[in-house]
C-alpha cells in the first residue's frame, strides 16, 4: 500500500458528511439548552450536598449526545458500530437523588432531538419541562413530613406525649421505638397543621419528657 492509497480510503469521504455549519449550530444550541438545564437543576436542587461536578456533567452530556447522534445519523454503518461500542460502557457512580435521573435523561433527550434537527421541539420542550420542575419541585407545603424524636422517662409520659402529638398534628405515625432502663425513645412521623412549631416547646416541657426534637426530612410520605 502506497502513501496515496491511504488517502483513497473512505475515511476522508466521511469528513464532509456533516457540514461545519450544522455541527457548530447543533453544538451551540446544545450548550445553550445544557446551561438552561443546569440552571433548573440549581433552582430545584433539594438534596443534602450540591455537586457542581454533576451540574457540569449535564451540560457536557447534552453536547456529547448531540455529537454522537450527528455522527450516527450521517453514517448507517457507524450507527451499528456505535451501538456495539456503547453497549460495553458501565456507569458505577450511584445516583443519590431520584430527580437526578430525570435531569440525566433530559440532557440525553435534548442531545438526540437537536442532532435530529428538531430544534423547535428541543427548545420548547425544555422550556415546558423546566417550568413543570420549577412548579412542582419548589412547591412548599406545611404538610411535608417531619420526624419528632422524644425521650420519655416511662410508659405514662410516652402515652401522654403521643396523644399530645396526635392532637397537634394532622397525622402521626410511630416509626421506631427504643426502650432502655429508665428511658423510652420514640421516633414519630407527623404532618403539621400549619407552620407553627411552638407545640414542640410545650412538649419538651411536659412532665416525664427529657427532650423533644423536630426534624424535617425528604422521606416517603405517609399514605
Handedness of CA 101, 103, 109, 111 (dihedral sign): negative
**Which residue is listed with cell 435530529?**
116
Same structural domain for residues 29 and 123? yes
Same domain, 115 and 179: no
Answer yes or no: do 39 and 58 share one domain: yes
pLDDT of residue 183: 86
pLDDT at residue 220 in the model: 45
Backbone angles phi, psi at 103, to 5 degrees: -70, -35
Residue 127: its pLDDT value, please? 94
- Residue pair 207/157 in contact by the 8 Å Cβ criterion: yes
Q: In terms of domains, do 108 and 24 share one?
A: yes
Under 8 Å between Cβ of 182 and 105: no
The three-state secondary structure class of 217 is coil
**Domain assignment present for 221:** no
Q: Could you tell me the residue range of the domain that residue 173 belongs to?
A: 145-216
Is pTM beyond 0.75? Reply is: no
DSSP E strand stretches across the chain: 145-152, 169-180, 183-192, 209-216
33-to-42, 50, 73, 98, 100 alpha-carbon distances in Å? 14, 21, 21, 22, 17
Look at residues 76, 103, 137 and tell me which one is the last residue of a structural domain: 137
Same-domain status, 17 and 83:
yes
Q: Say whether both 132 and 34 belong to one domain.
A: yes
124 and 83, same structural domain? yes
- Predicted local distance difference test score (pLDDT) of residue 2: 54
Q: Mean pLDDT, 10 residues at a time, over the chain (223 residues)?
A: 51 59 88 94 78 87 88 64 56 71 90 88 93 81 76 87 87 85 86 82 87 74 41
Residues 131 and 74 in one domain: yes
Same domain, 83 and 152: no
Residue with grid cell 420514640, as numbered in its chain: 186
At residue 90, the pLDDT reads 60
Shared-domain flag, residues 125 and 186? no
Strand partners for 3: none
**Count of structural domains, the chain:** 2
Q: How high is the pLDDT of residue 223?
A: 41
Q: Residue written as cell 431520584? A: 98
Q: Does residue 163 lie within any of the structural domains?
A: yes
With respect to residue 223, please indicate whether it lies within any of the assigned structural domains.
Answer: no
Taking residue 157's Cβ as centre, other Cβ atoms within 10 Å add up to: 18
Amino acid at each position: 500500500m502506497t502513501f496515496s492509497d491511504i488517502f483513497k480510503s473512505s475515511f476522508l469521504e466521511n469528513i464532509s458528511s456533516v457540514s461545519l455549519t450544522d455541527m457548530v449550530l447543533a453544538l451551540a444550541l446544545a450548550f445553550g439548552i445544557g446551561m438552561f438545564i443546569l440552571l433548573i437543576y440549581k433552582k430545584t436542587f433539594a438534596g443534602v450536598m450540591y455537586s457542581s461536578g454533576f451540574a457540569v456533567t449535564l451540560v457536557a452530556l447534552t453536547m456529547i449526545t448531540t455529537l454522537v447522534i450527528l455522527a450516527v445519523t450521517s453514517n448507517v454503518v457507524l450507527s451499528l458500530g456505535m451501538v456495539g461500542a456503547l453497549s460495553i460502557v458501565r456507569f458505577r457512580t450511584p445516583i443519590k437523588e431520584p430527580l437526578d435521573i430525570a435531569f440525566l435523561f433530559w440532557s440525553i433527550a435534548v442531545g438526540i432531538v437537536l442532532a435530529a434537527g428538531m430544534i423547535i421541539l428541543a427548545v420548547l420542550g425544555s422550556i415546558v419541562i423546566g417550568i413543570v420542575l420549577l412548579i412542582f419541585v419548589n412547591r412548599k407545603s406545611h404538610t411535608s413530613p417531619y420526624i419528632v424524636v422524644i425521650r420519655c422517662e416511662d410508659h405514662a409520659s410516652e402515652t401522654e406525649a403521643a396523644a399530645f402529638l396526635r392532637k397537634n398534628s394532622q397525622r402521626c405515625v410511630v416509626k421506631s421505638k427504643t426502650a432502655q432502663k429508665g428511658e423510652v425513645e420514640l421516633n414519630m412521623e407527623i404532618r403539621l397543621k400549619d407552620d407553627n412549631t411552638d407545640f414542640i416547646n410545650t412538649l419538651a416541657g411536659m412532665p416525664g419528657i427529657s427532650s423533644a426534637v423536630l426534624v424535617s426530612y425528604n422521606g416517603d410520605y405517609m399514605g
